[in-house]
Structure 1
Amino acid sequence: MTVVLGIESSCDETGVALVEIGPGGAPRLLGEALHSQVAMHADYGGVVPELASRDHIRRVIPLARQALEQAQRTLADVDFIAYTRGPGLAGALLVGAGVACALAAARDLPVLGVHHLEGHLLSPFLSDDAPRFPFVALLVSGGHTQLMRVDGVGRYALLGETIDDAAGEAFDKSAKLLGLGYPGGPALARLAEAGRADAYALPRPLLHSGNLDFSFAGLKTAVLTQVRKLPAGPDAATRADLAASTQAAIVDVLVKKSLAALKATGLNRLVVAGGVSANRLLRQQMDAACAARRARVHYPEPRLCTDNGAMIAAAAALRWQAGLARPERRYAFDVKPRWPLEPISQGGPAC
């Protein structure tokens, strides 16, 4: 069995986890620790990169100790260390990369840089209901909305992506227009529970475009237009109705584009991953739509939808198992704040 220590520090969560994998087997989570910076950034209405980086520095070593203790392992039991190389905030990425390489050098361990989105993509393999290849993947988060055909680890073909705002950005920006706090997406979803999804006729951009691309900027503009029409100090019911209508528009596009991708590829298995995959309405409607089509849909465990070290360790373990990445004892590192997912189909970079 091979034990991987994974470190995630791409944005506003510091995550460390240990994953174990054997020949031909699925990754198994041994221990994990996570710290969210939401409370720290809330006063600013969004992530402050410098504060995020400094907080990662404070948290990562104590979290590593916590994950090792939970797993009842020590660094002597670790075979290699993985970290998020990109995409993400440059300063935040450098913290995780630096700590990973320093720990590895101290213990004479190999290291491996991991793509953040590949971590999300492969995170459902840590669940009891793990998917089987091939499948269509909907990667949906604050900064990314993509549909991929996935034929195996490292075998990814882009089917469609957002041409402007991602779905998570549409949630967050609409929440800000409604005067909700940070993080906006979960706040809007909570408010939407008290509203009527059909109260406002909001657009579904590119829904009938004939391709698998997304666009959410127009929806945000439509929400802004409706907010400006609201009376001063609108009552709670009115705000809840607009929140519910906004959420319904986003979810409708995600579900129908995903079903179109299944039809275009002829596949009957879907993976939905990324932060927005935790949205309850999205899961309900995606489950119903896939059941009607007799397709299977898989999600990460809810706690693994946000950024976390477990997905980084699992992605590294699966790439190593597939022979696509070779951890190396090279401790000079760099990071990739902008890093498309598709090119890594040909292999994985080491630190």
Structure 2
Amino acid sequence: CSLTQQVADLAEEAGAVCCICREGYKYQPTKVLGIYTFTKRCPVEEYEVRARKTLGYTTVSHYNIVHVECHMAAVRLARARDEWESAALQNASTRCNGLLPLWGPHVPESAFASCLARHTTYLQECTQHRDIGHTCTLHDLKLLLLRFARGRTFHDDTGGGGPLSNMQLVPALVHMALYVINTSRVAAREAAALEGSLGWAAPRLLEAAHDAEGPLYYLALTLMLYPHAKWRSLRVESLRRVITIAQARAAAPGGPALRALPPDHRAPKPWPDYKPYVTFVAVIDQLYNVMFKNVTATTVDQWPIKLAEYIRHNDEANAKAAEKIVTTLTDELLPCSSFAEFCDAAGFLEDIPDPDAFLQTLIDELP
């Protein structure tokens, strides 16, 4: 009987599990787990019209998880191989050059912070980007969500990884940005910048269509700072803003930044010109309503701290939520062939009962 009980106690790990030792937080609660990632240098905004575009980086993943300790041990054993050649063997033969740490429920902060500093060093080595802070991570998150919104592939540079593995990466990137925002106490400053961007008049919004820190960047920041109720009140306004910049980019994709659209560009553009931008808003909405629906914070002061805590303690729930979001995106949102169909699939009809009239009115009111 005692042997049977012991076998019953050896339950399988739930949630994140190391791909080398096959153990996770159940049997190794204080060891830091990390996600193998691949990061490359790129402009943070392809439509930016400056002579020298603002450079950042973009990250993708096959979402293979490993103890940082196991990774380092494997590298030491494989002396003849480069660190990332060795890591690729554990990463399903997928290229990687980073190890993004997860802060488990019982992992000491000092251990997590040390691994995060090592990951930052990896990012500096592969991107030649020296000043890596939460702004860089926000641009990284924005570019990842844009890939989903555009229906683009994730494996071109790495040889592996798809929509699901990269949606599972999203909460880890959110947590990385939140950790820096919370520890450096810049949430109030960032909230003030976000509030300021929401007050932009139409001419300023048209100019921002070609800015690195434009409406899409501030939408990614919204996820870090605003609770559910605040987002709910901003959903339609967010659609207005992204449709405005879509109109400006379609009218003048190479810039310069426009103060007003020429009269002959007032007509509604083809649906594919708007689709990636409104889908970006829908993905943010899905993250709020599916992945982070159980975060209990109700104020702007509480949200960054509560959201970081929720991500830290709910890796298994977040992985399941990622599956639901990817299914909704691929089966319902990306196949949409019109704005009206999109509003129906994304759940916006209660706020926008006549999508075609909404779109036409918005374009008619542009300066």
TM over 0.5, shorter chain? no
TM-score, normalised via structure 2 length = 0.29
Larger Rg: 2
TM-score, normalised via structure 1 length = 0.30
